Every structure is written in C-alpha cells, then in structure tokens.
Structure 1
Amino acid sequence: MPYRRLLLPNGGGPFVEFGPVRRPGTPSHYHFPLGPQAPSGPTGPLNQAKGPKLCHGLYWARPINPDDWRPIVPKAPINGIDLYYESHGDDSAPAIVFAHGRGGNHMSWWQQVAAFSGEYRCITFDHRGWGASIAEHGSPLRENFVADLTALLDYLKIDKTFLVAQSMGGFCCLGFALAHPERTLGLVLGDTTGGVATEGTLAALQNTNPPPDGPARSLAASFIEENPALTFLYQQINGLNPPRGEDGVISGFRLKDGPNVESFAGWQIPTLLIVGKEDVIFPPEVIAEVQKVIPGSRMEVIPGSAHSAHFEKAEIFNGYLAELFGSVLNGSAAGAAAD
C-alpha cells in the first residue's frame, strides 16, 4: 500500500495525504515543515511526492487536492444509518461483495481482498450493529441486512455482483440473491446455511452443540495451536465490534420461516457452498442438507478448518472462489447451475 489518505486541514492550510515512510534505502524518521513557507521542490529520498512535505515517525505527508480525495472512513447514508464500507480495486472491474459473520466485521476479509482486488472490485462492509456501522441499541439488525445491502449497491452504482458470505453473512447474501437474482452473478456460502429452513437442515442442526464462546467456537484446534498470532488477530477483529445485546442471529438460523424448497424454484445462480471439516456450528452434514435444496449447487469441504475457512485456509478458500468467478465470467457456469 503506497499510502492512505486522510482529510486533515493543516491549520487552515492545504489538506494533506499520509503514507508509510519505511521504504528500501530510506531512514525511518524525517521532518519537513508543511505550510506556506515550506519548500516546494524535491527534498531527499521523499522526492516521489511533489510539493511541500512533512514526515514524522513512520508517515510522510504532502498537500493534496480535496477534489481528488477519497475518504479513509467511507460511510453510505442508507436506511437510517451510516453503513461503513470499503471499496478496493478498479471501480469498473467485476464486483465481489464480502459479508462477514457475527464474530467479524469488514476486516475479516483481509486475505480475500488482497487476493482478488487486482482483478475485481472488492466491497467489504460492516453489517448494521457491527464494526463502524452504528445502529440504535435494541433496534432490528438481521431483519435489515438484505435491504441494507441493496441500498449499498445502489449507492455505489453496482448493478451486478458476486456475493461471498461467512456464517451470519449468509442471511444477507442468500436473502439478496433470492430477492434480486438478476443482480447476482454468483453466490458463495461459507460455513453457513443462509437460514435455509427445511426439515433436513433443522433436524441436522439439532445435533450440533458448539462451545458458547472463545476461539474454539470458530477455529479448528490445530489452527489455534499452530497459529497463535492469527488466532489473536481473529479475536482482536471481533473485539472491534460494539456491544449489541441480543441480536437474534444464533436463533435466526433455527427459525422455521427461512428459505425452503419452494424458495429455490427456477434458481439459476451459480452457487458454491464451502464448509470447514471441523466446523462445530454448521458441520458438513448440515451444509449437505442445504446443498440438497439449492439446484445446481456445489459443496466443498476444507480439512483443517472449522467455522472460518476463509480465515484458516484462505489459499484453498480463495482457490474455490477464483474457480467460480472465472467460470461465470467465461460463461461456463450458467448452464451448470441450470441443470
């Protein structure tokens, strides 16, 4: 990342742009004045940035034109809240929306954004009540997910998109795909039923008994043992979420009014279900019941991962995504989904 932009008025002077200083061959500390009397020519190893500069600690700064500025904390004013989102990659590229789970937020998808933003426009966001998408305490959350995603895509002027969900995000992505199949290029349900409520899925859920909290609820035991730093990061990401009280998410997966067999009549959206082999919340046998309901869907089980395959086994997870995206864009998935 060459730099990140912040809108900071410099004492009534120009707006400034900040970025990391540590680069090959450069010291870690410079200090240049920034203001009306600052030098405007190239100065030292930071001459990549034209105009007056300030560098202090690990960051450099230069004046920028506010008209060219994209906020580092973008929010979409939709449905009565300011929904936090990020857009990475070329705005004209095919879009992918990543919808996080109950224990995550937009940051959960860092390994997917890094992998796909070179060829796709990657949209991450915080569901209302999570991360920086602040919602009134006690207000409905899950019930607004589909409307929020629809409004966000309208706000960003994205007509069609791929959808990738993890756990709770399945409510959002599957719900959107059912409501707007014409806007859905493909659907990936990661470690989630999406709320599908058939006799088979609900019966299979009765046999699950995950731990109430802690990393063992979402991560494989082998991952926790071998990756203490990533396990800590996983918990820290969750720690960025505000307190919500009862959010209705866990109970929502067991409601009988979710999508059923009739909901998928005429379904033609290329659909991939991915589940960690050690998932104790939605074990593979639960996801297999979901696959029976979605016409043309495919299911992949990832060994060595649990309820967060996108995080635990990102390379394998991303490989399955790339395969689906490529087949859709090359025109080879539509027929398979319709079979």
Structure 2
Amino acid sequence: MHHFVSGAPKLSFDRIGDGPPLIFLHGIGGNRFQWRDQLVAFADRFTAIAWDARGYGRSDDYAGDLAFGDFSDDLLRLLDDLQVEKAHLVGLSMGARILLDFAPDRLDRIATLTLCDFFYGFDESLTEEKREEFIALRQKPLLEGKTLSDLAPDLVASLLSPSASDAVRQRLVDSIEALHVGSYLKTLAATLRYNRGANLAALKVPVQMIYGEDDRLTPPGIGEGALAHLPDGRLNVIPKAGHLSNIETPDAFNTILGRFLSIYRDTACWKEV
C-alpha cells in the first residue's frame, strides 16, 4: 500500500482499492494517516490515495523556503507519476487551500473537488501585519526550544469539538508529534502569506464543502459565504464535529462524501497507456 514519487523532494503516499482515482490531502498538522478512515471506506469503489505533503510524514524535507505553490507542483507530479487523467480530489484545511491554488490552472485534471474545514481569503480583520504577528507567535515557542509535545495540548483543544473522544484526541497528539519541525515552521509562514480567494469563481467543476459545526478555526459561515462564488457548489455541516470533521465523525463525513462522489464517480479516470 505504501509508495513513493521520485524526484526532489521524494513524496510518500498510501494507495488502496481499485477504481477511479480519489486523492486526499491533509492539513497543516497532519499526514497521510489523517485519512485512514476514508481510505478503508472508499477502497471498494475507488483507488483511494493519501499523500504526505513535502516535509511531512515519510516525504522528504527540502532546502530553502517554501513557496505555497510548491504543493501544487507536487500534486501535479503525483498525478503524472500515477498516470491519472482526472481525479476526485479531497482536501482538508491546508489541503483544501492547496486545491484552491492547484485547480484554476488545471481543471482538466479534476473530476470533482471536496473542500473541508477551510478558509479561502483574508478580510480586514486579518491584515498583513496581523498575519505576520500570527506567524511569529506560532513559530516562537518552537524556535525558543519548546517541543511539539509541549504545544500539542493547546493545539488539540483548539481544533477538536468538546465531544471528541479520547481516542481522537490521542490520534491528533500523535499527528502533531510526528511533524518535521523545520518543514512545519516553513509551512506556517507560507500558508499565512498565500491568498487566492478569488479562485472560487474559477472552480468550474462540482464542489462539495464539508464543515464541522463546532469548528472554531474555520466556522461553517465561511462555507456559506463561499457558496455565493462557486459555479457548482454545495455545503454540508456535520453536528458535533470540530476542525477535523473527517476524524471526529468519520461515518457522517463518509456518508456526505460518498453521496457526492456517487453522482460523478466515473468522471475520474486513468490515462490510456
């Protein structure tokens, strides 16, 4: 099930099942294991794939600063390596923002998009100055010697709903502790300096949005605002779920995603070789 895309940096991904390609992109504090409940659930209908983004999991770290567009280039590398003509693409939080960056210039490679618990632009309340302050505050503890284990409790509390189980909380702690500190610091800076919210109008493919009702980081109202800009969008909100709706409430998440994908299943395809 585990594979690599060669090149610089080398990319790691899991693959299971047989059928049209369905690819999952994790958030800033995650890795490919964030999607294990989805890989198992969809392997009977799709070839389900979850990557480690560059600098995450078993993917290589990289020299120099990160440009957020590097993730899109890596996704294209993955599609080409797998000989994917068109894929169903699913991204959560940072993974969704990677798809917002990737999609407008590569609509021919996309069957559908599912965007989960994400934001798509900065308003007056988050000025450039405030974004730089946020970056500095998030980086400072690690730069001053604190460990990811030190930071995990507060991060977990901010991301999960009050009803999250102990097993889900431990799963998120494990994910945070597995981060590559250097790459995580670079990703924090790159993602807060990236803004392509205007891309929503260019997403001329079917788009499913999924939010957790108790998501304090990216509340469902963001998805409601996005609906006005999407040519073909729909929104579902999952009760008693926080920012990681796919992990906290996998059954509800999989039901929404499965219903959406069933309409368009065969629009994803492999290249003829």
TM-score range, shorter chain: 0.7 to 0.9
1:314 aligns with 2:271: no
1:214 and 2:155 equivalent? yes
CA drift of 1:250 comes to: 6.6
Say whether the 8 Å CA contact 1:204–1:286 is kept in structure 2. no
CA contact (8 A) 1:191 1:279 kept: yes
In structure 1, C-alpha distance between the alignment counterparts of 2:49 and 2:99, rounded to whole Å: 13
- 2:201 maps to 264
Alpha-carbon spacing, 1:250–1:306, altered in 2? closer, same or farther (3 Å): farther
Per-residue deviation at 1:291?
2.2
Q: Equivalent residues in 2 for 1:81-100 (5 A)? A: 81-90=9-18, 93-100=19-26
Question: TM-score, normalised to structure 1's length?
Answer: 0.66
Which residue among 247, 259, 263 is the counterpart of 1:323? 259
1:138, distance to aligned residue in structure 2 (A): 4.3
- Residue type of the alignment partner of 1:237: S
Taking CA–CA contacts closer than 8 Å with sequence separation of 6 or more, which of the two structures ends up with the larger relative contact order?
Answer: 2
What displacement does 1:105 show? 0.2
Change (3 A) 1:122 1:204: farther
The separation in 1 between residues aligned to 2:93 and 2:173, in whole angstroms, is 16
Identity %: 27
> Considering only CA atoms, is the larger Rg found in Structure 1 or Structure 2?
1
The answer to whether the 8 Å contact 1:278/1:303 transfers is: yes
Kindly report structure 1 stretches of 4+ aligned residues shifted beyond 4 Å: 203-206
* TM-score, length-scaled by structure 2: 0.81
Is 1:74 aligned to 2:74, yes or no?
no
Amino acid paired to 1:322? G
Contact 1:105–1:238 (CA under 8 A) maintained in structure 2: no
Other-structure match for 1:233: 171
State the partner residue of 2:143: none
Partner of 2:108: 182
Count residues in correspondence: 244
Call closer, same or farther: CA 1:204–1:283 in 2, change over 3 Å.
farther
Match of 1:283 among 219, 232, 252: 219
CA contact (8 A) 1:273 1:298 kept: yes
Instruction: Please point out which of 151, 162, 167 is paired with 2:93.
Output: 167
**Hey, what does 1:202 align to over in structure 2?**
123
Pair 1:118 & 2:44 matched = yes
What is the alpha-carbon distance in structure 2 between the residues aligned to residue 254 and residue 139 of structure 1? Answer: 12
Instruction: Provide the rounded CA distance (Å) in 2 between the counterparts of 1:284 and 1:152.
Output: 30
Deviation at 1:259, TM superposition (A): 3.3
RMSD, matched Cα? 2.5
